[in-house]
């Protein structure tokens, strides 16, 4: 509908736009058969506790194996699916598939599932979540739904009521990509989040930039005061890991700990380089 398309129309008059429109239409058309043809896959990325140095859960990340183009990234096709409404069916697939895998393969770990703002606003969303949980038999407390601030800005009274119903089911709620976008601090006290995920941009800047480090420290303190778990996204090296551990961040996720992988090659424990870094805490100080 026009509302969802609205944020993409601003660049209508840019050069090369004709190609982009054609490209999006082509993706949208191909998305129609992607579900029925089984072209989607779920990959899983581990999340580790910095206190115990153990994997505590996995985030499900969708992958599209396009018959001609090969792997198309979610960054490319999710916006198309959101504008067309196809994200509703895709989101249901992700829920069912992730919970199916959680009930069989990923024993004893939590599972995180990304939810699009368009999916979140669908009137059947809460019922879909409840049904998927009932069918899978996965305890609701092991499931975390990740939403972004975009989900909250349009109608926050309705968003609050949806989140409250989800909490009644027993699932956990995470605020993804925190710090980029609108980032109203009042969201943190107004909505029932269990977890804040600090955006990767702060993590990758933290060792060069006092501002990013200060933001991480502040979010960790704020999150703890509000009784929320703090997860850092996009940890790529041992320095970043040590900074986060020293600042009291609860959990970390990123290529250093594990890349998103298909279920048959999932890591159950953290790599040696990670445990060594946590033991030695060998971070030498800011490189400014």
Place of tokens 């995470």: 174
Number of residues that bind Mg ion (CB under 5 A): 5
Question: Does 114 engage in binding with ligand C2E (CB under 6 A)?
Answer: yes
Q: How far is the CB of 287 from ligand C2E (least distance, A)?
A: 19
Of 177, 239, 240, 251, the one binding Mg ion (CB under 5 A) is 177
Of 30, 149, 177, 239, the one binding ligand C2E (CB under 6 A) is 177
Question: Does 234 engage in binding with ligand C2E (CB under 6 A)?
Answer: yes
Residue 164 contacts which entry, ligand C2E, Mg ion, none (Cβ below 5-8 A, type-dependent)? none
Q: Which is nearer to ligand C2E, 112 or 213 (CB)?
A: 112
CA-based diameter of the chain, in Å?
55
> For residue 251, what are the β-bridge partners?
49, 231
The tokens for 276 are 């060594």
Beta strands per DSSP E along the chain: 40-49, 54-66, 70-72, 110-114, 143-147, 172-178, 195-198, 229-232, 251-252
**Is 252 exposed, middle or buried (CB count within 10 Å of its CB: 0-12, 13-18, 19+)?**
buried
Question: Does 258 engage in binding with ligand C2E (CB under 6 A)?
Answer: no
Question: Does 94 engage in binding with ligand C2E (CB under 6 A)?
Answer: yes
Positions 86 through 115 that interact with Mg ion (CB under 5 A)? 114
Q: Could you give the string, one character per residue 127-166, with x where binding to ligand C2E holds by CB under 6 A and - elsewhere?
A: -------------------x--------------------
Positions 142 through 161 that interact with Mg ion (CB under 5 A)? 146
Stretch that binds Mg ion, among 67-75, 88-96, 171-179, 247-255 (CB under 5 A): 171-179
- For residue 111, the Cα-to-chain-centroid distance in whole angstroms is 11
- Residue 28 makes CB contacts below 8 A (sequence gap 6+) with 80, 81, 83, 84, 86
CB 281 within 8 A of CB 242: yes
Residue 189 contacts which entry, Mg ion, ligand C2E, none (Cβ below 5-8 A, type-dependent)? none
The tokens for 283 are 């971070």
Cα dihedral 137/140/146/148 (nearest 10): 130
Stretch that binds ligand C2E, among 74-82, 167-175, 184-192, 205-213 (CB under 6 A): 74-82
Tell me the C-alpha distance between 59 and 141, whole Å: 15
CB 167 within 8 A of CB 144: no
Q: What residue ranges bind ligand C2E (CB under 6 A)?
A: 45, 60-62, 73-75, 78, 91, 94, 114-116, 146, 176-177, 200, 233-236, 254-255, 260
Q: What residue ranges bind Mg ion (CB under 5 A)?
A: 114, 146, 176-177, 233
């Amino acid at each position: 509908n026009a509302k969802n398309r609205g944020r993409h129309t601003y660049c209508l008059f840019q050069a090369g736009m004709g190609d982009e429109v054609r490209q999006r239409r082509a993706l949208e058309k191909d998305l129609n058969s992607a579900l029925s043809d089984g072209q989607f896959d779920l990959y899983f990325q581990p999340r580790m506790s910095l206190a115990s140095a153990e994997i505590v859960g996995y985030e499900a990340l969708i992958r599209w194996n396009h018959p001609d183009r090969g792997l198309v990234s979610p960054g490319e096709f999710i916006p198309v699916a959101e504008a067309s409404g196809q994200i509703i069916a895709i989101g249901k697939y992700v829920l069912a598939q992730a919970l199916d895998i959680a009930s069989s393969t990923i024993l004893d770990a939590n599972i995180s599932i990304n939810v699009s703002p368009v999916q979140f606003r669908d009137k059947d969303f809460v019922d879909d979540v409840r049904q998927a949980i009932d069918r899978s038999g996965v305890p609701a407390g092991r499931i975390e739904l990740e939403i972004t601030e975009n989900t909250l800005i349009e109608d926050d009274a309705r968003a609050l009521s949806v989140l409250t119903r989800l909490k009644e089911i027993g699932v956990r709620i995470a605020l993804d990509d925190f710090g980029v976008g609108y980032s109203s601090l009042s969201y943190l006290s107004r909505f029932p989040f269990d977890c804040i995920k600090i955006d990767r941009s702060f993590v990758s800047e933290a060792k060069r930039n006092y501002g990013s480090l200060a933001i991480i420290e502040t979010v960790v303190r704020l999150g703890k005061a509000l009784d929320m778990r703090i997860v850092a996204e996009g940890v790529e090296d041992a320095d970043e890991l040590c900074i986060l551990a020293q600042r009291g961040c609860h959990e970390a996720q990123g290529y250093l700990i594990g890349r998103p992988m298909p279920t048959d090659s999932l890591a159950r424990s953290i790599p040696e380089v990670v445990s060594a870094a946590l033991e030695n805490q060998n971070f030498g100080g800011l490189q400014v």
